[in-house]
Amino acid sequence: MKRNAYTLKASCTDTVGIVAAVTGFIADRGGLITEMSHFVDDMAQKSFIRTVFEDDATSDDETRALQAAFKESVARRFAMTFSIIPPNQKLRTLIAVSRQSHCLNSLLYRWSDGHLPIEITGVVSNHEDQRSRVEWYGLPYHHFRIEPGRKPEQEARILDLFEETGSQLLILARYMQILTPHACSVLGGRAINIHHSFLPGFKGARPYHQAFERGVKLIGATAHYVNTELDEGPIIEQDVVRVDHTMTAGELERLGQDVESVVLNRAVRWHAEHRVFENGHRTVVLRH
Ligand SMILES: Nc1nc2c(c(=O)[nH]1)N[C@@H](CN(C=O)c1ccc(C(=O)N[C@@H](CCC(=O)O)C(=O)O)cc1)CN2
């Protein structure tokens, strides 16, 4: 009979015996490993491990006991940062959008067909444009207008909503407002942005027009964690598409929107599957 599948995500200073200790802990409980990924950053001397394993634990109490046992017998020994995620958990996710719909639309579609392991807690925007689309999916839409000179108050409403809904991730799906250092601190590693260029190229506003003026032959998109340095957060995923001299800036933008949507969906799925580790100003993504 298939048992509950738990996900273990852990990182620590690299040393001998980490994989043996993790796999031995699981085996000693009669657990069955169904997925295992491990990476060592030699420069940083840091080890990253992700495993999915079937276990007899089922109730909340048994899950807490499993987590406590791992902490006592493995995590403490290696000073690990770790989490053991119970089965079938979907990451509670708030989406922020401004006027453009392509990334939001793609997230809503992928969520509705079960391809994204997230639970959308709502959509928040500084505009009304996307209300009907969101409410068609039966989701709450929150319009928080930015009054001139009162942007911090609007941002505070977003942070309150994030907390009140028990959200664990904020997706900036072409949300065109810069988050303050305070918001970045509160969210810390729980906010993902899609930038419409292949960073570090063409940071900031209007990257497709910048690319057109530069005469590029590739355009791209970048999904990254949000920090106080605009478009400088750790990169989670990127992709590109070929363009040529016959295309206008508007055609670059239309072509780029498909790449943005694909890249953002990959990044959200990998984050929600606990595959992404921040590693300094970079990430480690254990996809295999
Ligand atoms: N703290 C951060 N906030 C945001 C980031 C980030 O990396 N760190 N990414 C942006 C998204 N973005 C490009 O991808 C971007 C959005 C907005 C702007 C900008 O100049 N916004 C102006 C207002 C523009 C308007 O009102 O239409 C501003 O906020 O003053 C630049 C880049 C999302 N936030």
User: pLDDT digits over 39-76, tens only?
Assistant: 999 999 999 999 999 999 999 999 999 999 999 999 99
235-255 mean pLDDT: 98
Q: Can you give the pLDDT at residue 256?
A: 98
Output the residue whose Cα is nearest ligand 1's atom 20.
205
Q: How much distance in Å is there from the Cα of 152 to the middle of ligand 1?
A: 14
Q: Can you give the pLDDT at residue 225?
A: 98
Residue 192 has pLDDT above 90, yes or no: yes
pLDDT band at 191 (very low <50, low <70, confident <90, very high): very high
Tokens of 172: 């900036």
Please tell me if the CB atom of residue 231 comes closer than 6 angstroms to any atom of ligand 1: yes
pLDDT band at 182 (very low <50, low <70, confident <90, very high): very high
Q: Can you give the pLDDT at residue 288?
A: 75
List pLDDT tens digits, range 75-96. 999 999 999 999 999 999 999 9
95 touches 88 (CB < 8 A):
no
Atom of ligand 1 nearest to the CA of 231: 7
Interatomic CA distance for residues 132 and 130, integer angstroms: 6
Q: How much distance in Å is there from the Cα of 174 to the middle of ligand 1?
A: 9
- DSSP characters over 34-51: EEEEEEEETTTTEEEEEE
Interatomic CA distance for residues 284 and 41, integer angstroms: 9
pTM for the structure as a whole: 0.96
Which ipTM was obtained for this model? 0.94
231 is catalytic: yes
pLDDT band at 240 (very low <50, low <70, confident <90, very high): very high
Q: Can you give the pLDDT at residue 1?
A: 74
pLDDT band at 197 (very low <50, low <70, confident <90, very high): very high
Residue 243 has pLDDT above 90, yes or no: yes
β-bridge partners, 46: 13, 41
**Average pLDDT of the chain?**
97
220 touches 180 (CB < 8 A):
no
